[in-house]
Copies of this chain bind each other. A is one copy, B any other.
Amino acid sequence: MLSERRLEVLRAIVQDYVGTEEPVGSKALTERHHLGVSPATVRNDMAALEEEGFIAQPHTSAGRIPTDKGYRLFVDKLTSVKPMTAPERRAIQNFLEGAVDLDDVVGRTVRLLAQLTRQVAVVQYPSLTRSTVRHVELLSLAPARLMLVVITDTGRVEQRHVDCPAPFGESALADLRARLNSRVAGRRFSDVPQLVQDLPESFEADDRGTVATVLATLLETLVEETEERLMIGGTANLTRFGHDFPLVIRPVLEALEEQVVLLKLLGEAKDSGMTVRIGHENAHEGLNSTSVVSVGYGSGGEAVAKLGVVGPTRMDYPGTMGAVRAVARYVGQILAES
């Protein structure tokens, strides 16, 4: 077990390295932090910390930098989330309140998060799986062509074309629309399949094919849209990565363009509470030199989607975590109100 002071030394190393982006030596440490011991003692502690794999030397006779494992310990044990100040909180709220629709909410959230953390922000659109259907609309585009529109309580709208096997009359359409809505409006997304299961039977034989097609499309929309969309922003902050950024930036940009990768990334995070993935803890190789801080957010008590930031492992964890948590909280509020 590491002594209290050695942990203190690790904390100091992390803080200094995050600030200066340069390997930190024993002398500099004792000067900037009042550890109450001499550089020589700190050197001994450092040797021990290195032995345990928490810090490393880029080369002999250079200072130490934290390893992924060191950051992990720092995040888990040596620090706590730094709360936002009151003015910051007010600014967040004000900024988000101006949003006019869902796209705007997500867009503002991304920009806000990128600006607060000075890192790349990723915001998942509120999920359909857990939200409820507010309304289903059916429109006739042509005799045998319909448009299906699904509106959710988070304000999201999805539409699909439906090609009918046979022409479908206006009255049957109105009928189907009414029945569909009476069954699914206000219901959980995941409950919809069984709620509409027997609908075709109540229609005339000629129309059953069309009804079945519409339902199939509806269910398909649910499934397809469960795979979420997301928005990213603040990629210009990647240039703040450090001196080795030319090497690192490319795989990161590539990963950020792959929605699938990002969704998996957020998906792997815990459903409740904040998740911090440091360096090689990220499954995706391109993100091995980044850390991802993510958290769920939702309109009610429940999380419906996730948001987070991607930055260098050398990041200000307490501050970043504070910003991420605060933003998630306020987005949840905004969504609940709208």
Q: Are A233 and B257 in contact (CB under 8 A)?
A: yes
Number of interface residues of A (CB under 8 A): 29
- B residues in contact with A147, CB < 8 Å: 135, 151
Asked if A94 is an interface residue, CB under 8 A from chain B, the answer is: no
Asked if A326 is an interface residue, CB under 8 A from chain B, the answer is: no
Q: Are A141 and B134 in contact (CB under 8 A)?
A: yes
Q: Mark A210-250, 1 if CB is under 8 A from B, else 0.
A: 00000000000000000000000111101100000110011
> How far is it, in angstroms, between the C-alpha of A157 and the C-alpha of B139 when the chains are bound?
13
- B residues in contact with A89, CB < 8 Å: none
Asked if A263 is an interface residue, CB under 8 A from chain B, the answer is: no
Residue of B at shortest CB range from A240?
B250
> How far is it, in angstroms, between the C-alpha of A253 and the C-alpha of B232 when the chains are bound?
13
Q: Are A159 and B239 in contact (CB under 8 A)?
A: no
Residue of B at shortest CB range from A243?
B246
Asked if A137 is an interface residue, CB under 8 A from chain B, the answer is: yes
Min distance, Cβ A216 to any Cβ of chain B, angstroms = 14
Residues of chain A in range 66-125 having any CB-CB distance to chain B below 8 Å = 101
> How far is it, in angstroms, between the C-alpha of A134 and the C-alpha of B250 when the chains are bound?
43
A135 interface neighbour in B135, B141, B238, B338, Cβ under 8 Å: B141
Asked if A284 is an interface residue, CB under 8 A from chain B, the answer is: no
Q: Are B257 and A249 in contact (CB under 8 A)?
A: no
- B residues in contact with A257, CB < 8 Å: 233-236
- B residues in contact with A130, CB < 8 Å: none
> How far is it, in angstroms, between the C-alpha of A159 and the C-alpha of B152 when the chains are bound?
12
> How far is it, in angstroms, between the C-alpha of A254 and the C-alpha of B235 when the chains are bound?
8
> How far is it, in angstroms, between the C-alpha of A147 and the C-alpha of B102 when the chains are bound?
14
Min distance, Cβ A223 to any Cβ of chain B, angstroms = 13
Q: Mark A124-139, 1 if CB is under 8 A from B, else 0.
A: 0000000000110101
Asked if A6 is an interface residue, CB under 8 A from chain B, the answer is: no
Asked if A160 is an interface residue, CB under 8 A from chain B, the answer is: yes
A151 interface neighbour in B134, B159, B245, Cβ under 8 Å: B159
A246 interface neighbour in B245, B256, B338, Cβ under 8 Å: B245
Query: Could you write out 8 A-B pairs with CB less than 8 Å apart?
Result: A101-B160, A135-B141, A137-B139, A147-B151, A149-B151, A161-B338, A236-B253, A239-B249
Closest 5 CB pairs of A and B: A236-B253, A239-B250, A236-B254, A157-B159, A235-B253
Interface residues of A (CB under 8 A from B): 101, 134-135, 137, 139, 141, 147, 149, 151, 155, 157, 159-161, 233-236, 238-239, 245-246, 249-250, 253-254, 256-257, 338
Q: A235-B256, A236-B254, A239-B250 are in contact. List 20 more A-B contacts (CB 8 A).
A: A101-B159, A135-B139, A135-B141, A137-B137, A137-B139, A137-B149, A139-B151, A147-B151, A149-B149, A149-B151, A155-B159, A157-B157, A161-B338, A235-B235, A235-B257, A236-B250, A236-B257, A238-B253, A239-B249, A249-B249
